[in-house]
Structure 1
Amino acid sequence: MEQNIPQPGELLSKINTPEDLRKLDPKELQDVCDELRNYIIDMVSVYGGHFGASLGVVELTTAIHYVYKTPEDRLVWDVGHQAYGHKILTGRREQFHTNRLYGGISGFPKRTESEYDTFGVGHSSTSISAALGMAVANTLDKGDRKVVAVIGDGSMTAGLAFEAMNNAGAMNSDILVILNDNCMSIDPNVGALKEYLTDITTSKTFNKMRDEIYDMLGHFKSAGEKMRKVASRLENAVTAAITPGSLFRALGFKYYGPMDGHDVDGLRKTLEDLKTVKGPKLLHVVTVKGKGFAPAEREQTKWHASSSPFDKITGKALNPAPKTKGAPKYQDVFGEALVELAAKDERIVSMTPAMPSGSSLWPMMNTFPERAFDVGIAEQHAVTFAAGLATEGKKAFCAIYSSFLQRGYDQLVHDVAIQKLPVVFCIDRAGFAGADGPTHHGLYDIAYMRTVPNMVISSPLNEQDLRDMMFTASTFEDASWAIRYPRGKATGMSVRQEFETLEIGKGIELREGENIAVLSFGPIGKYAITVADDLAEEGINIGHYDMRFAKPLDEELIDEICEKYDHIITLEDGAKMGGFGSAVAEYIIEKENRPSVKILGIPDVIVEHGTQEELHDEVGIGVKGIKEAVLSILEKV
């Protein structure tokens, strides 16, 4: 495998740290950028990974590390999709082929991985808050280091970013925020801020007038002190009146831009100037996501990331799998079912926080555009927006990733549960998320929702159950309902067209056995099915029950299981503490004659990245782990 690792260009091969980069002549920086962009394309075309965002900030990344003395000067990335060039320039070029692989380097900035990764990020809009904390610490320490935050226009739609800017402006902290404006997050950006930034970057009148005014003021500055003061006041008054950075200035920031984010020399000069400007500053740079790779520039959503090898010229997949109709993804089952339900029930509406592709909300948005909403990167707003719709009799389906819903937990409690509003949360990426790692794993939703009254918590074993759960939830008005399902493919089973109502809080017996029963919650139950089949061939018969609901529990079925079996194993793709297994144990502990309970789930540790199967095996909830748990019990009998 080693001989297939792409090799860097002549300049890039000599850059092991930003200090090496800073030894180069400024005239060589564009060559470095070209080599860095080609190296990212070469690597991702072979090993996969996030793609478009990093290509778009090659010049910006190079200029920042050239001008600022990182890691002493602090550089904070937002999200982290865009940090591949940063990783390559900061000592991880030789390890970059392990990016996102099990045991390899992370696909995101990670503090334990490098001193250049000043703040760990996986989700959006945290950079300004973190950078402000670093800037304030620097002031308290009487230091002289600089602090730079790089944030995308998509991330800027989140409330957290504006909370941080409001605070930074009021504190007059010495911080530079670089707004990387490419009109994209993963899907195209939406909302008033997007329109505002578009107006800034496309206004010919503004750009022409700005250049003329700056040119005029340049002449004034050669005059005496009095004229310079007049010029300064004139500059402030005119820029406030005609320039489009008024929103940022209102928050206390000096606004600069917009400027070409692919002009590395221009960026270098501007950043050198801004190093001497005190206080909060915002530099607005305009970039192209996927810059330098034509297929990514044309289809930016598609090329946000690539999971399989492709031709680095054409973008076509290498050795593509035969085109056969395989199992659908759970997210697509959700998307298709939602359209079918919405066609039958005009009360149904839906929303997602900036993930219509990842959540498969596009079918709904295309079919019923007036009833489907992308609210931008604003998870808290998405939940309360759904609650507001529910107060008016609408049936809101909120499509959201498990790790994103964590951001809206307060709204889930206060705005949905306390008011007993029947919002349906369709929770994608529940369980291990795979190569995206710990910031994206959806491990805590069962535990954090179980404690909240007026919540139904369910998880389907397969795509048929998912459809029926959605249908049943669409007619349920007594409380909110959470349906969790994992990233990736469903079973591929034949699905009936019509929907059926499920009995709430009821599980089913999949297999009758002796002595040991496995109670599974959700699609992870597929492993238990395999284990039961394998053990049956060895003459060991275990029971298997698909519980379907973590809340309310099927206490009647559990009572029957307790009568029949001496040992229970619970299985879930979620945190052990407070999860489904805990719920079963809490119920059984009240019984006088109770079976033993072993909980299989995610332990109280941060689990890194890898394939879902690798991570399931690592924590003992894959086929091997379940089988070992069964045999361990039998050895003690």
Structure 2
Amino acid sequence: MRAEPCHLHVFLIATSEPRGRAAIVLADIRSPRDLKDLTPEQLARVSSEIRSFLVHSVSRTGGHLGPNLGVVELTLALHRVFDSPHDRILWDTGHQAYVHKLVTGRRDFSRLRAKDGLSGYPSRAESEHDVIENSHASTALSYADGLARAFHVRGVTDRAVVAVVGDGALTGGMAWEALNNIAAAKDRPVIIVINDNGRSYAPTVGALAQHLAVLRETGHDGLPRPSVFEGLGLHYIGPVDGHDIGATESALRAARDVGAPVVVHCLTKKGRGYRHAEDDTRDHFHGIGAIDAATGQAVGSGSSRTWTSVFAEEMVRIGASRPDVVVLTAAMLAPAGLDLFAGAHPDRVFDVGVAEQHAATCAAGLAAGGLHPVVAIYATFLNRAFDQVLMDVSLHRAGVTFVLDRAGVTGDDGPSHNGMWDMSLLQCVPGLRLAAPRDAVQLAAQLQEALSVSDAPTVVRFPKGRVGPEIAALERVGGLDVLARTVPARDGHDVLLVSVGAMARTCVDVADGLAVHGVGATVVDPRWVKPIDEALPRLSERHDLVVTVEDNVRAGGVGAAIAQALHDAGVAVPCLNFGIPADFLSAGGRDEVLKEIRLTPTALEREILRRLADRSRPDTATGTQPTGDALAASSIAS
């Protein structure tokens, strides 16, 4: 079923426009229509200017530089062949959509991934050209299948559905679930463009990567090789040089005319046109902070350690003393902090590709085989493996440790990357134990504690960014660390502040602020927030109000679990819970987002004082004091 191969066209990149023809520059491209009539020379110039723009802009703001430098010509070809937004172009993962943003009229990259600036991913609020705003991989093919089915049901025949998916995203199981359905429907054309650069965050792994490597050889020696896609019944066109606009356009037009599901296999180079990114072997330029564009070196990074680096260093130490410890990553070896472990213990590292579900259940199998696996992923991606954590790990009482990086508010990557659901999802998993370290010392200690558990899953979660100074405990009560204690003024209120993880410094600051108003406060860090330590209800009885603060959605989170524990223990002290609202948070710096959702010391102090004042004020209707239940109910409604 192989479609006719496309001839490769080579365009000469002119250094200047022919006399008498107006020079086309990037500033002249305000919509995809402006690309339609450009000459090869003009396209080459626009491609060069786009790359210069990306390096200049993203080096200042940070963002996904390497992936976007690699799709310049492919994006131009897509918009010349198809008529977006009438034709639907879907970008899998979305970190390769900066060029798409530029040619669809979005030029202001000065606040990329910042509050009130451009999203780092497709955004339907920004443009009608953005169909989906997924930034979790391997989903675009399912969206495409659904769109094609909808057009078929409605009798729409003049709109193409195009899904651009990376070779790395094809390691995710959901992509193959979609392919299984797409290939079976010969009358529902979907054009699948594989952007094959041999990498996701890291080199693509597994049998699929090996197969794509074989197919790439067709472009070198001209010998046709059967593809797995043809085995599924899909038409296959390629491989095509994705940096040759003419060849790519020819392939896309041929695919559009097939009238059935078809794969267009485009070969691209990540970081194309920027030497530092092209030479990058560790994918530092996949997603960057601010850099010096001339040298490619990070700027303004300081010397403070990050949470990820603390985890990475501790894992190397653990690996040296625990030969049973192995690690798994879902295509994110370096971002998840496992590259140091891989250097020290290469035979004990398993990259399973973009496959969090498989990682979790594979880990259960490793545990059954006598090892202790550590699954290191971003907190937002744990959502994808919840069923496996519940039924494949916890049900089997498997000694697996999940390490969740980027937990809580991550900020600049927008709503899809905030790791704000994990502690709520995990509260209902039987037997699971959940740690939220407050600083680097506790991260190392609690990781060791987690790895000592062999008969249940354990989770250690920590935020993005730089780890702050150690917050030493004054004493330990049960399993709780007491971090601060202030004495109330005479007849003043006494509050128990329960800080969760990285919110410890915030809670200590709140206690200091309350003391100014004569309100006493004891700040405790539970360390392990699931199960709730039995010392917490006993300690709560000595206070007028319990306040929980967590960097997680409040609905079903740690605060809710503590309130339930107090109720079950017969403790009548009201419990006021602060956390992230159950909403999708807009992009912005972590501090900006925390301020917006009122998880700052000033905002928390003000709200606690207001609630205490309400509690002390006689009810205007009955002349009675509000009950603890009434206060607790008001906290839930806020």
TM range (shorter): 0.7 to 0.9
| 2:218/2:225 contact within 8 Å kept | no
1:129 to 142, 147, 163: 142
Q: Report the more deviating stretch, 125-134 or 299-308.
A: 299-308
2:464 to 462, 487, 499: 487
Tell me if 1:73 matches 2:55: no
What TM-score do the two structures reach when normalised by structure 1?
A: 0.88
2:323 to 346, 352, 356: 346
Q: Which residue does the alignment assign to 2:25? A: 11
Q: Which residue does the alignment assign to 2:539? A: 560
Q: Which residue does the alignment assign to 1:415? A: 392
Tell me if 1:437 matches 2:437: no
Q: Which residue does the alignment assign to 1:196? A: 211
Q: Tell me, in whole angstroms, the C-alpha distance in 2 between the residues paired with 1:539 and 1:109.
A: 50
- 1:315, CA displacement in angstroms? 2.4
Q: Which residue does the alignment assign to 2:201? A: 186
Task: Give the alignment of 1:356-371 within 5 angstroms.
Answer: 356-371=333-348
Q: Which amino acid aligns with 1:275?
A: R
Q: Which amino acid aligns with 1:602?
A: I
Q: Which residue does the alignment assign to 1:226? A: none
Q: Which amino acid aligns with 1:570?
A: T
- 1:264, CA displacement in angstroms? 1.0
**What secondary structure sits across from 1:118 in the alignment?**
coil
| 2:73/2:242 contact within 8 Å kept | yes
Q: Tell me, in whole angstroms, the C-alpha distance in 1 between the residues paired with 2:198 and 2:230.
A: 21
Q: Tell me, in whole angstroms, the C-alpha distance in 1 between the residues paired with 2:146 and 2:381.
A: 23
Q: Report the more deviating stretch, 283-292 or 331-340.
A: 331-340
Deviations 1:403-453 (A, max 9, x none): 111111111111101111111111111101120111111111111111110
**What secondary structure sits across from 1:43 in the alignment?**
helix
Task: Give the alignment of 1:500-539 within 5 angstroms.
Answer: 506-513=479-486, 514=488, 515-536=494-515, 539=518
Q: Tell me, in whole angstroms, the C-alpha distance in 2 between the residues paired with 1:55 and 1:288.
A: 8
1:270 to 246, 251, 254: 251
Q: Which amino acid aligns with 2:537?
A: I
Show structure 2 runs of 5+ residues with no match. 1-22, 489-493, 617-638
| 1:429/1:485 contact within 8 Å kept | yes
Q: Which residue does the alignment assign to 1:280? A: 261
**What secondary structure sits across from 1:454 in the alignment?**
coil
Q: Tell me, in whole angstroms, the C-alpha distance in 2 between the residues paired with 1:272 and 1:423.
A: 49
Show structure 1 runs of 5+ residues with no match. 1-8, 211-241, 496-501
**What secondary structure sits across from 1:150 in the alignment?**
strand
Q: Tell me, in whole angstroms, the C-alpha distance in 2 between the residues paired with 1:363 and 1:504.
A: 36
Q: Report the more deviating stretch, 586-595 or 543-552.
A: 586-595
| 1:505/1:552 contact within 8 Å kept | no
Q: Tell me, in whole angstroms, the C-alpha distance in 1 between the residues paired with 2:236 and 2:393.
A: 39
| 1:617/1:623 contact within 8 Å kept | no
Deviations 1:516-560 (A, max 9, x none): 121111111111122223444565432211111221101323222
Q: Tell me, in whole angstroms, the C-alpha distance in 2 between the residues paired with 1:36 and 1:475.
A: 52
1:305 to 287, 296, 299: 287
Deviations 1:609-632 (A, max 9, x none): 111111111111122222222322
Q: Which amino acid aligns with 2:485?
A: E
Q: Tell me, in whole angstroms, the C-alpha distance in 2 between the residues paired with 1:304 and 1:277.
A: 34
Q: Tell me, in whole angstroms, the C-alpha distance in 1 between the residues paired with 2:356 and 2:455.
A: 24
Shift >6 Å, 4+ stretches: 502-505
Q: Report the more deviating stretch, 377-386 or 299-308.
A: 299-308
- 1:171, CA displacement in angstroms? 1.4
| 2:238/2:251 contact within 8 Å kept | no
Tell me if 1:117 matches 2:130: yes
2:189 to 150, 174, 178: 174
Deviations 1:452-496 (A, max 9, x none): 10111111111111111111122212311111111111124499x
Q: Which residue does the alignment assign to 2:47? A: 33
Q: Tell me, in whole angstroms, the C-alpha distance in 1 between the residues paired with 2:193 and 2:556.
A: 41
Q: Tell me, in whole angstroms, the C-alpha distance in 1 between the residues paired with 2:366 and 2:511.
A: 45
Q: Which residue does the alignment assign to 1:232? A: none
- 1:331, CA displacement in angstroms? 1.5
| 2:141/2:175 contact within 8 Å kept | yes
Deviations 1:572-591 (A, max 9, x none): 00010000000011122346
Tell me if 1:100 matches 2:113: yes
| 1:201/1:258 contact within 8 Å kept | yes
Q: Tell me, in whole angstroms, the C-alpha distance in 2 between the residues paired with 1:351 and 1:208.
A: 37
**What secondary structure sits across from 1:572 in the alignment?**
strand
Q: Which residue does the alignment assign to 1:615? A: 593
**What secondary structure sits across from 2:104 in the alignment?**
helix
What TM-score do the two structures reach when normalised by structure 2?
A: 0.87
Tell me if 1:632 matches 2:610: yes
Q: Report the more deviating stretch, 149-158 or 503-512.
A: 503-512
Q: Tell me, in whole angstroms, the C-alpha distance in 1 between the residues paired with 2:502 and 2:298.
A: 30
**Gap change, CA 1:436 and 1:505, over 3 Å in 2:** farther
Q: Which amino acid aligns with 2:328?
A: M
- 1:635, CA displacement in angstroms? 3.1
Aligned-residue RMSD, C-alpha: 2.1
Q: Tell me, in whole angstroms, the C-alpha distance in 2 between the residues paired with 1:307 and 1:536.
A: 39
- 1:288, CA displacement in angstroms? 0.7
**Gap change, CA 1:483 and 1:365, over 3 Å in 2:** same
Q: Which amino acid aligns with 1:202?
A: E
| 2:537/2:569 contact within 8 Å kept | no
Q: Report the more deviating stretch, 26-35 or 551-560.
A: 26-35
| 2:312/2:340 contact within 8 Å kept | yes
Task: Give the alignment of 1:242-257 within 5 angstroms.
Answer: 242-245=224-227, 247-257=228-238
- 1:156, CA displacement in angstroms? 0.7
**Gap change, CA 1:314 and 1:332, over 3 Å in 2:** closer
- 1:355, CA displacement in angstroms? 1.0
Q: Which residue does the alignment assign to 2:380? A: 403
Q: Report the more deviating stretch, 190-199 or 534-543.
A: 534-543
| 1:334/1:360 contact within 8 Å kept | yes
Deviations 1:503-523 (A, max 9, x none): 998222222244112111111
Q: Tell me, in whole angstroms, the C-alpha distance in 2 between the residues paired with 1:203 and 1:277.
A: 21
Q: Report the more deviating stretch, 34-43 or 533-542.
A: 533-542
